Amino acid sequence: MSAQTSAVFSPPSPARSVGRVRRFSKVLQQNRMLLIGLAVLLVVVVSALVGPYFITYEPLRTAPEMKLLPPSLDHPMGTDNFGRDILVRVLYGIRLDLRIAFMVAFTALIVGTLVGTFSGYYRGIIDDVVMRITDVMMAFPSFVLAMAITAMLGNTIPNVVIAIAISYVPYFIRLTRGEVLSARELGYAEAARCVGNPEWRVMYLHILPNCLTPALVQATLCLGWAILDASGLAFLGLGVRPPIPEGGVLVGEGAQFIISGEWWISVFPGAVIVLMAFGFNLIGDSLRDITAQEER
């Protein structure tokens, strides 16, 4: 029995904890974009994970006698000029692109939110310096920045991840800093200090968790952008290098054959890149809509 000296009642709360699964399916029902995005990605991811087990061809083995074959039952996406099956290379490419995308988003998210929180909480000179640095970084289109960094560091996969992540970090810093600026004024930050929390705990355990939502939404969108950036870099020769199967690499390999008619070498990988970016964008956009609605 609870002794409640509260007011008679607050307007009756909606039906309590409907159960996470039910709520999730309700969210899906109301947000077609989310549903489509998730569906697209599911198809892509599952085929990338499972596909290679059903295909006997190897992504790197050349077979000159099979070169430049158009799409057929044997080779649903045809073969390239080295006789390699394009479908299996596309599937491995998806795996790599996804790995790169997640590493980029994760890194940018972590670095950006930590720095942004620190900057927004302490303000002062540190904040000014951080803001000026992000200003400079954001003055460049992120792709150009990534290009410059890979050119400097060299084109290995880790460097590609670093380069793209660096070009995204300023956005995360800004986003998080903005949220922290308003959150730090709220009572619970002061209450946290009053109770005996050292500043770092107030920042990272109290304030930051409440400011993560926009950053997480942004991270989802970044997954899509990262795939496009990574592919772009690879296409230009600044990113992942052939013969490693990756979306941009594959498109690049097929570029010279479009005119001569062997369209399938570029088009299929290109379509898959677009599909992945599209899927992530849909998810990210609908998440943004959903979280904006909840705040209201």
Partner 1 sequence: MAARETLLRIEGLSVSFPSGDGRVTILENVSFEVFGNEIVGLVGESGSGKTMTSLTVMGFLPPSGRIEGGEVWFGHDNLLSYTEEYMRRVRGRQIAMIFQSTRSALNPLMRVGDQVARVYRVQRGLGAREARAQAIQALTRVGIPDAEHRARAYPHQLSRGMCQRVLIAMMVACEPALLIADEPTTGLDVTIQAQIFELIKDLQQAANASILLITHDLGVVAETCDRVVVMYAGQVMETATVESLFAKPIHPYTQRLLHSVLRVDKTIEMPKVDAGLSEEVAYSVAGCRFAPRCPRVLPGCWEEHPPREQAGPDHWVTCHNYN
Partner 2 sequence: MNTKTQDPVLSVDELVKVFREGALTLRAVNGISFDVYPGEAMGLVGESGCGKTTAARSILRLIEPTSGHVYFVGTDLTQLSSREMRAQRRHLQMVFQDPDTTLNPRFTIRRTLSEPLQLHKLVGNGSLEERLLQTMSRVNLDPEFLGRYPHQLSEGQKQRVGVARAIITEPKFVALDEPTSSLDMSIRIHMIALLQRLQEELGMTYIFISHDLSSVRALCNRVMVMYLGTIIESGPTDEIFDRPLHQYTRALLSAIPIPDPQLRRQRILLEGEPPSLFDVPKGCAFHERCPDAQPGCREVRPILRDVGAGHLVACDRV
Task: Kindly list the residues in this chain that would bind partner 2 in the complex (CB under 8 A).
Answer: 1-7, 9-10, 13, 16, 186-188, 190-199, 206, 209-210
Chain positions 2 to 21 lying near partner 1, rule: CB under 8 A, are 2-15
Smallest separation (angstroms) from partner 2 to the CB of 85: 49
Angstrom distance (rounded) from CA 161 to CA 148: 13
CA distances from 238 to 235, 267, 285 (A): 7, 21, 29
Pick from partner 1, partner 2, none: which does 14 bind, CB < 5 to 8 A by kind? partner 1
Which of 263, 257, 169, 270 is CA-nearest to residue 228?
A: 270
Smallest separation (angstroms) from partner 1 to the CB of 18: 10
Smallest separation (angstroms) from partner 1 to the CB of 201: 33
Q: Which is nearer to partner 1, 13 or 56 (CB)?
A: 13
Pick from partner 1, partner 2, none: which does 193 bind, CB < 5 to 8 A by kind? partner 2
x-marked contacts with partner 1 along 37-76 as a string, rule CB under 8 A: ----------------------------------------
Q: Which is nearer to partner 1, 6 or 56 (CB)?
A: 6
The C-alpha angle with vertex 230 and arms to 135 and 176, in degrees rounded to 5, equals 35
**Beta-bridge partner residues of 85:** 79
H-only helix segments in the chain? 20-30, 32-54, 86-122, 124-139, 142-153, 157-183, 187-195, 199-201, 208-236, 247-255, 264-295
Smallest separation (angstroms) from partner 2 to the CB of 186: 5
DSSP code for 31: -
Pick from partner 1, partner 2, none: which does 73 bind, CB < 5 to 8 A by kind? none
Residues 7 and 51: beta-carbon distance below 8 Å: no
Pick from partner 2, partner 1, none: which does 210 bind, CB < 5 to 8 A by kind? partner 2
Pick from partner 1, partner 2, none: which does 154 bind, CB < 5 to 8 A by kind? none
Angstrom distance (rounded) from CA 28 to CA 19: 15
Is 1 a binding residue for partner 1 by CB under 8 A? The answer is yes
Quote the tokens at residue 3: 């002794």
Residue 111 makes CB contacts below 8 A (sequence gap 6+) with: 165, 169, 172
Smallest separation (angstroms) from partner 1 to the CB of 25: 17
Angstrom distance (rounded) from CA 106 to CA 137: 19
Smallest separation (angstroms) from partner 1 to the CB of 2: 7
Find tokens 């697209």 and name the residue: 40
Q: Which is nearer to partner 2, 69 or 189 (CB)?
A: 189
Chain positions 70 to 129 lying near partner 1, rule: CB under 8 A, are none
Q: Under the rule (CB under 8 A), what is the footprint of partner 1?
A: 1-15
